[in-house]
Amino acid sequence: MNITLIKTIPNILKFPAANSARLLHLTAVSNKNQAGRYKNTPRKNFPLTYEMANPPHQIAHRKSWNSWNTSNVEGGNRPSETAVEDQFIRKFVQGTWHALFVSEIIIKRQHNLIRIAGLVHRGVMPRKMYFLIGYTEEFLSFWLQCPIKMELQSVADKRHVVFKYV
Amino acid sequence: MMNLSRNIERVPFRSIEKQLVASYCNSSPQTQTKQEEFRALNIRNVKDPFQTRRRLQKTAVFPPRADQMPVDQDWGSVWPGPRSFHPATVPLPVRQGFTEKGAPPPNKFNNAELMKIPNFLHLTPPVIKRQCEALKKFCTPWPKALDNEDKIQKNFPIEVISSDYCYSSPTIRDPMARIITVKFKLASLKLDDRARDKFLRLVGPRYNEENDTVTIVTDRCPLKKQNYDYAMYLVTALFHESKKVEPWEEMKSEADMEIYCWENNASKKNIEALFGCKSEEIPNAAEYSEAVSHYMNEGENDYTISKYGEAVKKLLKLQGTN
Amino acid sequence: MFKMNIPGAFLRRSYRLKCTKCLGRSLSTATEEKIEIPARIERGPTDILRALESTITRDITAAHYKYHDDPYLLPMNNLAKRSFAMAQEAGRKAAHWVRSQHPELFNHQECDPPIEAFFPKMVYNENSEVTEEDLKNVIDRAQVSDAILINNLLKAKGLEITNETKQSLLELLCYNNSEDILDEEFIEERWFKQSSGIKDRQRKTWKDASAAEEIFISIDKPTSDSYSAIIQGMAKFNQAARAYQLLEEAQEKGFELNIHAYNSIIKCANFIKENYDLRWSFIVNMLERIKQAGLKPNLGTLNAVLFTLSTMVNSRMVKDFALKTLNEFKSLDIEPSLGSWYYILITFCKDRGPRSAVLKNILNEIENKNHKIQDLSDTHFFVTAMDIAHHHLNDISVGQRLHKLLLFGNNYDLIGDSYKESIYYRHYFSLVLSNVPLQDFMESMYNKLVPNIYVPEPSVMREVIKQIELNALIEYIPRIWSDIIVFNQHNREDLLNLILSVMVDNKPKQDTELVEKFANIGWDIYETIDGQNQERYSNLQFTGDLLGKIMIVLLRNDNFEKACTVMNKLDHQHQSIVGVPCFEALSLFVDHCIKNKAPSRAIECIQYASDSGFPDIITLGAKLNEQLTLDEKHLNRLSKFVDLKLS
């Protein structure tokens, strides 16, 4: 099998262009926009938040950005570092506040202050939440060497953030 | 031979086995004391009543504090600095979000969109007023004598411009901050014609004829201070260089002149010879000299020729004849 | 605190230079005006922020800003306040721990200019290569154990350190008693740590033969500075005898100690001399020596003298001495700090002593001024002064003047710690409560300060309830009860009993909202006791009296079903419940049984009453018999314990 394959390759190269089209396999066009879009489920019971309900092309129309900084303005500094750091913050907060964040994590930067905002489910005791706040703020400020502030809004029930079902 | 080697191999394994058995025996009584009886196989998957998860103790949550706020409260103290929106603290019935078919937009609670957008709740007009009052003690009044642009221009001829950049990043450094721009009016240097000519040749395109301004931008040094010093050095060097007269400058002959100057030319000598006196004493000589310079400098065209003709007529008092 | 909200900004600065040549020319012409450019007003790096901060006042609808402003996360009682703040600090400590475990992961440098606090701390061990520079660094950062370690390493390597470094190391060790102190970063732990000093103040805590003493001995030619340091250290931690001995030794050798060493010795007079007269002569002796040494006494001297005087027995002489000292120091232009006034207060206002109005005079002196901390004892002033205003003088005007002083400028910084703060407010509340009409108190104090600034302790709550009863303003009861629940005080038996008896004794007018609210409170109390976790250590127990009162409150609102539950409880747990309800409760219950036509319940009640030994059950039985037609069975049951024939 392998041997035959190898043998055919030079043949393809030898063939004129019109014939080679028959031998090359092409898949269907797959450059469809799919990221951040949700399909309908059969029972229409998949919950979406407002953020999820609006596909990415609605950013700046119906919803706004999750990261606010000056790195991407004309002549802004550290664009790549900022993107990587924001990703780190998101991963770290998602992991530390396991299953507690019910919205995207919003990161706003002003000068060297980083503010992390979001909706938090009231799933743990307030005391534990304070521990997590202190830990996250201090750890991230060691890592990013900026003062960090958490600005949370607690949500009594996860269903309160559901915008629609698909 | 084979057998022997096998036996040898076995011996250590056996001892390990023994140890394992021994340790198992030792540990088994402990495990048994933990579970007092044999565990029953739970075929029907009936839940053990004792293994119910401890319910999370619900803590009482208080109503949003915005409800208890008095109407006449001092908002600047409630919201002193920039902060993400919080519905329980802002007593405004705001809504945000896009909905289909005339449904009301999502309200302020549990609304992440409101938390995203930067708000200016900390900079309400009364707060700005108050803060300006508080900062007044750091301000000094504008000098009274400097009441118009001319005076400023006259007393402070050099303008130095530098920029600071504030980004949202852990560093305050920006390479663009090193750039220094120095501006001044050429007239303020009070140069004579020769020096001015030389100065303009030295600065080249940095001179703007429209407003008589020289602009020098320095960015070759890494620091702002260094660039500033360099710019000041340039201004000083330019000034003195243009004042200086080199020996070869004296050798400039008529042919090297870039413009026609009546004073230095044959035309002046000719009319002086013609009238027999100094050109200043000849009536209408000034007009004539101007017309000649125009003619020579701007080239021959209808206007300069006719001007020249009139000046000659005036000079020679040929008014009557036509 | 305050930052521009625009994420990125670009500041363009342009300034004009004056050409000296032009200036010369402009001066020469007389018609030209002279241009005067005002001098720049000097300001420190944080002055702008402080100016902006001064425009902000305390927001009474919010908790302290260290707490997260969210309804779920706002603390409403003292326990929550403490545990939330400490939990956050515990989280921060966890992050510190992670960093200290893996310092190699935190070696990157993002920030420019570098911020030291974000970088991992240097760790020293037996194998580190150290120099004197390192020692200086750790001394600057007050890392005591590291300093000792590095010093030992240097000694082992045979490296000599300069005398200045040795002196600063000695000072560090003496100040901290050769122990590491709590990191300044953990501000909450300091705030909530209950004034630990009280016990230690009277006890020797100086570590003998510690690193500090070793260093002192190792200095070849001790100077007056090293003597001063070791004396201050020993005196601070109450190793008085040796401190005094060293003082004498230093003077024999002809060293001139500094004023702080003398101050610390004066503070130790109690340990050195036994008799009061001896102590005073010791102080005078020391002051003489200061004079001979040509030193100028300072605030520390004043406070040390006043401290020693304040510990002496109450006599006219001591007060005279205190006033004389004040006068003497006044002539030296030494302004007393709040700490000095604190010592004066405790000298003059003793528990059993005569009443002294010295606080008023002090207030005249210090009112409407911004005070800064100058002495550790300054933080004791406010709490003590309020205590005196409350217990000693019981004068509301003094209390209010004092509170105004506390809120003036940045004086609130001198409140001390959380413990002192709550004691201060406890006294202030009790003082106002007993001197001001209740309505005014509720409006001007209670509604403003509770719960964000102060959460009343159970004792204060009890006083509030008592005042409510005295003033017969029972409409405040529901509000107080909801606060008691919020403050987590509803497991206090005395408070429950008090509020119940107030509700029973002050019967609200029929058909008002209050009747229903009272009934709800009663049922709340029943349910909190009934529903509490049995495994808890301190359990609330039902008493007969309590249940009776609950029953009365419920029955006034015609909650017959709930009253029946309470009656059942009484009846079924007869053995475990201490005491019996009052007769009115039972009688009222029987009335309501009649009203609701429930004879069997009434009979149960009468049976319970008879078992409990009430003499008047006959009237109850008769009432039941008259107003309801009982069937045979009921009559039989009733006649078992009530002789109906008699009635």
Contacts of C18 in chain B (CB under 8 A): 155-156
Q: Over the stretch C554-571, which tens digit does the pLDDT of each residue have?
A: 988 888 888 888 888 888
Question: Residue C353 CB: number of other CB atoms within 10 A?
Answer: 13
Calpha distance A104→A161 (Å, rounded): 11
Distance from CA of A112 to the nearest CA of B (A): 5
- Minimum-distance CB partner of C62 among B59, B65, B188: B65
User: What is the structure's pLDDT at C219?
Assistant: 81
- Minimum-distance CB partner of A151 among B59, B84, B110: B84
B306, pLDDT greater than 50: yes
Query: Are the C-beta atoms of A79 and A72 separated by less than 8 Å?
Result: yes
| The three-state (H, E, C) secondary structure of A36-86, written as one string | CCCCCCCCCCCEEEHHHHCCHHHECCCECCCEECCCCCCCCCCHHHHHHHH
User: What is the structure's pLDDT at C596?
Assistant: 86
Asked if the Cβ–Cβ distance from C23 to B166 is below 8 Å, we say no
**What residues 157-196 of chain B have any CB closer than 8 A to a CB of chain A?**
166-172, 174, 176
User: What is the structure's pLDDT at B22?
Assistant: 42
Distance from CA of A48 to the nearest CA of C (A): 24
Six-digit token string for C628: 């309801």
User: What is the structure's pLDDT at B32?
Assistant: 43
Contacts of B87 in chain A (CB under 8 A): 153
Calpha distance B125→A16 (Å, rounded): 77
Could you please report the per-residue DSSP string of C279-342?
HHHHHHHHHHHHHHTTPPP-HHHHHHHHHHHHTS---HHHHHHHHHHHHHHHHTT----HHHHH
CATH code for the domain in which residue C159 is found: 1.25.40
Query: Are the C-beta atoms of C344 and C326 separated by less than 8 Å?
Result: yes
Query: Are the C-beta atoms of B86 and A120 separated by less than 8 Å?
Result: no
Contacts of B131 in chain C (CB under 8 A): 52, 55
Asked if the Cβ–Cβ distance from B152 to C57 is below 8 Å, we say no
Rounded to the nearest integer, the mean pLDDT of chain B is 82
- A95 CB contacts (<8 Å, ≥6 apart)? none
C145, pLDDT greater than 60: yes
Domain membership of residue C211 as a residue range: 108-183+195-271
Mutate to test the interface with C, among B62, B136, B213 (most CBs of C within 10 A): B62
- Minimum-distance CB partner of C118 among A73, A130, A141: A141
Question: Residue C140 CB: number of other CB atoms within 10 A?
Answer: 11
Calpha distance C303→C337 (Å, rounded): 8
Percent of chain C with pLDDT over 70: 92
- Minimum-distance CB partner of C9 among B88, B141, B166: B166
| The three-state (H, E, C) secondary structure of B280-314, written as one string | HHCCCHHHHHHHHHHHHHHCCCHHHHHHHHHHHHH
C203, pLDDT greater than 90: no
Mutate to test the interface with C, among B77, B121, B227 (most CBs of C within 10 A): B77
Beta strand pairing call for C9-17 and B158-166? antiparallel
Does C215 fall in a domain? yes
Query: Among the listed ranges A61-65, B261-265, C341-345, which one has the minimum average pLDDT value?
Result: B261-265
Calpha distance C69→C81 (Å, rounded): 13
Task: Show the DSSP H helices in C506-559 as ranges.
Answer: 513-530, 544-556
Backbone angles phi, psi at C175, to 5 degrees: -65, -40
What value does the mean pLDDT take over residues C18-22? 47
Domain boundaries B149-250, corresponding CATH code: 3.30.160.20
- Inter-chain CB pairs, A–C, below 8 Å: 95
Beta strand pairing call for A162-165 and A47-49? antiparallel
| The three-state (H, E, C) secondary structure of C467-492, written as one string | HHHHHCCHHHHHHHHHHHHHCCCCCC
C194, pLDDT greater than 70: no
C18, pLDDT greater than 50: yes
Mutate to test the interface with A, among C74, C79, C92, C186 (most CBs of A within 10 A): C92
Cis status, amide bond into B104, omega within 30 of 0: no
Distance from CA of B166 to the nearest CA of C (A): 5
B186, pLDDT greater than 50: yes
C-alpha triplet B142, B144, B147: angle, nearest 5° = 90
The secondary structure element, H or E, covering residue C10 is strand C9-17
C535, pLDDT greater than 70: no
User: What is the structure's pLDDT at A31?
Assistant: 77
| The three-state (H, E, C) secondary structure of C161-226, written as one string | CCHHHHHHHHHHHHHHCCCCCCCCCCHHHHHHCCCCHHHHCCCCCCCCCCHHHHHHHHCCCCCHHH
User: What is the structure's pLDDT at B33?
Assistant: 45
Distances (CA, A) of B145 to B153, C15, C16, C22, C24: 13, 17, 15, 15, 16
What value does the mean pLDDT take over residues C341-360? 84
Asked if the Cβ–Cβ distance from B168 to A104 is below 8 Å, we say no
Task: State the ipTM, two decimals.
Answer: 0.84
Chains that touch B (3 or more CB pairs under 8 A): A, C
B230, pLDDT greater than 60: yes
Centroid of chain to Cα C34: 61
User: What is the structure's pLDDT at B55?
Assistant: 54
Closest CA to C268 of C199, C171, C201, C176: C201
Q: For chain C, say whether B131 makes contact (Cβ under 8 Å).
A: yes
Helices H / strands E in chain B, number of each: 11, 4
Across the 166 residues of chain A, what is the mean pLDDT of every consecutive 10-residue run? Answer: 48 52 72 86 93 93 93 86 95 94 94 94 93 96 94 92 92
Q: Over the stretch C111-141, which tens digit does the pLDDT of each residue have?
A: 888 998 899 988 888 888 888 888 898 888 8
User: What is the structure's pLDDT at C192?
Assistant: 85
Query: Among the listed ranges C39-48, C532-541, C595-604, which one has the minimum average pLDDT value?
Result: C532-541
Mutate to test the interface with C, among A112, A130, A131, A150 (most CBs of C within 10 A): A130
User: What is the structure's pLDDT at C472?
Assistant: 85
Asked if the Cβ–Cβ distance from B59 to A70 is below 8 Å, we say no
Asked if the Cβ–Cβ distance from B176 to A153 is below 8 Å, we say no
Q: Over the stretch B191-212, which tens digit does the pLDDT of each residue have?
A: 988 899 899 999 999 999 999 9
Q: For chain C, say whether B86 makes contact (Cβ under 8 Å).
A: yes
Query: Are the C-beta atoms of C73 and C84 separated by less than 8 Å?
Result: yes
Closest CA to C621 of C634, A110, C612, C633: C634
Asked if the Cβ–Cβ distance from B78 to C62 is below 8 Å, we say yes
Chain C residue with minimum CA distance to B139: C41
Calpha distance C540→C475 (Å, rounded): 27
- Minimum-distance CB partner of C73 among A110, A126, A143: A126
Neighbouring C-alpha atoms within 13 Å toward the C-beta of A34: 5
Contacts of C96 in chain A (CB under 8 A): 138
User: What is the structure's pLDDT at A139?
Assistant: 96
User: What is the structure's pLDDT at B178?
Assistant: 94
C-alpha triplet B139, B76, C8: angle, nearest 5° = 65
Query: Among the listed ranges B21-35, C231-245, C506-520, which one has the minimum average pLDDT value?
Result: B21-35
Mutate to test the interface with B, among C6, C17, C533 (most CBs of B within 10 A): C17
- A52 CB contacts (<8 Å, ≥6 apart)? A36, A38, A163
Domain boundaries along the sequence of chain B: 75-136, 149-250, 254-315
Distance from CA of B158 to the nearest CA of C (A): 5
- Inter-chain CB pairs, A–B, below 8 Å: 100
Distances (CA, A) of C577 to B289, C572, C573, C581, C615: 131, 9, 6, 10, 20
- Coil/strand/helix, residue C17: strand
User: What is the structure's pLDDT at C4?
Assistant: 38
Look-up: residue for tokens 């329980």?
Answer: B88
C363, pLDDT greater than 80: yes
Chain C residue with minimum CA distance to A123: C72
What value does the mean pLDDT take over residues C574-599? 84
Calpha distance C588→C569 (Å, rounded): 17
Look-up: residue for tokens 């260089």?
Answer: B241
Asked if the Cβ–Cβ distance from A76 to C8 is below 8 Å, we say yes
Confidence band for B174, pLDDT divided at 50, 70 and 90: confident
Q: Over the stretch B92-151, which tens digit does the pLDDT of each residue have?
A: 999 999 998 888 999 999 999 999 999 999 999 999 999 999 999 999 998 888 888 888
Query: Among the listed ranges C89-93, C256-260, C631-635, which one has the minimum average pLDDT value?
Result: C631-635
Six-digit token string for C570: 């009484």
User: What is the structure's pLDDT at C447?
Assistant: 87
Contacts of C74 in chain B (CB under 8 A): 62, 65
- Minimum-distance CB partner of C91 among A110, A138, A153: A138
Confidence band for B237, pLDDT divided at 50, 70 and 90: very high
Calpha distance B131→C313 (Å, rounded): 54
Chain A residue with minimum CA distance to C98: A139
Contacts of C14 in chain B (CB under 8 A): 159-162
Distances (CA, A) of C215 to C149, C155, C171: 12, 11, 10
B38, pLDDT greater than 80: no
Closest CA to C8 of B51, A110, B68, B261: A110
User: What is the structure's pLDDT at A48?
Assistant: 94
Asked if the Cβ–Cβ distance from C111 to A150 is below 8 Å, we say no
Is-above-0.90 flag for pTM?
no
The secondary structure element, H or E, covering residue A119 is strand A113-121
User: What is the structure's pLDDT at B12?
Assistant: 46
User: What is the structure's pLDDT at C609?
Assistant: 84
Confidence band for C199, pLDDT divided at 50, 70 and 90: low
- Sheet with A106-110, side-by-side order of all strands: A67-68, A106-110, A113-121, A148-155
Q: B45 vs C518, which has greater pLDDT?
A: C518
Judged on CB neighbours under 10 Å (0-12, 13-18, 19+), C17 is middle
Percent of chain B with pLDDT over 90: 39
* Domains of chain A, each with CATH number or no CATH: 34-165 (3.30.300.20)
Query: Are the C-beta atoms of C63 and C75 separated by less than 8 Å?
Result: yes
User: What is the structure's pLDDT at B14?
Assistant: 47
Mutate to test the interface with B, among C5, C33, C65 (most CBs of B within 10 A): C5
B76, pLDDT greater than 50: yes
Does C249 fall in a domain? yes
Distance from CA of B170 to the nearest CA of C (A): 5
Instruction: For residue C543, give the DSSP letter.
Output: B
Q: Domain count of chain C? A: 1
Asked if the Cβ–Cβ distance from B155 to C41 is below 8 Å, we say no
Residues from C contacting A (CB-CB < 8 Å) are 3-5, 7-8, 68, 70-73, 75, 80, 83-85, 87-92, 94-96, 98-99, 106, 109-111, 115, 118, 120
C342, pLDDT greater than 50: yes
**What residues 3-42 of chain A have any CB closer than 8 A to a CB of chain C?**
none
Query: Are the C-beta atoms of B185 and B212 separated by less than 8 Å?
Result: yes
- Inter-chain CB pairs, B–C, below 8 Å: 152
C25, pLDDT greater than 60: no
